Amino acid sequence: MKNWYLLLISLMAALALFLILSLFYGRNTQKSLELDSPIRIILKSLDGEPMDFWDVVNRGIDEAAREFGVQVVVTGPRFEKEINDQIDIINRAIELSPPMLIVAATDFKKLVEPIKRANKLDIPVITVDSGVDSDIPVSFIATDNIEAGKKAGEEMKRLMEGNPRKELAIVSHIRETATAIDREAGVRAALEGMNIIGTWFCDVEQEKAYKISLELLKNENLGGIVALNEVSTLGVTKAIEELGLSDKVIAVGFDNAIQELSYLESGILKATVVQRPYNMGYLAVKTAVQYLSGESTTPFVDTGSILITRDNMFRREYQELLFPFGQ
């Protein structure tokens, strides 16, 4: 064809036009991450009460998914103790080859196996709240539980000044859980040099924590109990309330169940360390998006913890943390 070269020049110029236009205006539009399939998020439990820890984590997840324009699917076992269920759910999620797995591990050791499987299939994994005994996860988004434990311990130390009873006890939830181990380590670090008579495990059963506490409170020298999670705290405070020992035995707990806040207000519980579950969910998805966009991520993201006492519980900035909207 006689006009081949004209056509060529035309096309080239047109292409240049197109490209320049795209380039010129491309930077005005914020690039959102395009994923083939949704990010799979497997939490510890889904069947909890509204407003409990995992429900708030979920809200954070939803907000981040909305902000970064990514699709997420949140699943999980009904209860936290159903470890095998969670492993099955992870295995099923791996079959769908999602771009990213976010897992709140119900067990520090047993969850390593499915996460290794995901890694073999090149599915990156982020752990949230509770990690696993492995280097595979690209990031771990959780409360720094040692730090949280220290906060509880330091408050306990402060409150114990002038208390004639000198012995201290720790009521923990599960022996082999990372959160329990870390929190206890933090508490013990802060209470260095004080008389800790021991750690008792309630196996995440409030009734058991209550009974343990009743036994502990028979000790006339016991001046304080640090409870390491919600269930433990509720068991301990219930026992203290029933025995009317709130003036003599100082209770410092964890988490922010409504009942705990009520105890906090009435002075039975002196302080509680709360996590930021909303931020946990939000930052898990945000970190996933950063990782998938090729940005650098850090292996550990601390979502922070706050010591709540009767004095600050109604402060504006903590109100929504303690009493989420929509209650």
Rule CB under 8 A: which residues touch other proteins?
Answer: 2-3, 5-7, 9-11, 13-15, 17-18, 20-22, 24-25, 28-30, 32, 60, 63, 66-67, 69, 258, 261-262, 265-267, 276, 278-279, 282-283, 304, 310, 314, 316-323, 325-327
Nearer to other proteins, 55 or 107 (CB): 55
Nearer to other proteins, 198 or 267 (CB): 267
Shortest spacing between CB 257 and other proteins, in angstroms: 11
Nearer to other proteins, 87 or 268 (CB): 268
Cα–Cα distance, 242 to 237 (Å, whole number): 8
Shortest spacing between CB 49 and other proteins, in angstroms: 15
Q: What phi and psi, each to the nearest 5 degrees, are found at residue 212?
A: -60, -45
Shortest spacing between CB 318 and other proteins, in angstroms: 8
Residue 45's Cβ-side half-sphere holds a number of Cα atoms within 13 Å equal to 13
* Element at 188 (helix H, strand E): helix 178-190
Residue 260's Cβ-side half-sphere holds a number of Cα atoms within 13 Å equal to 29
Contact 43, 58 (CB under 8 A): yes
Give residue for tokens 């009493």.
323
Shortest spacing between CB 266 and other proteins, in angstroms: 6
Nearer to other proteins, 69 or 198 (CB): 69
Nearer to other proteins, 29 or 296 (CB): 29
* Count of Cβ atoms closer than 10 Å to residue 59 Cβ: 18
Shortest spacing between CB 3 and other proteins, in angstroms: 6
Q: What phi and psi, each to the nearest 5 degrees, are found at residue 172?
A: -110, 175
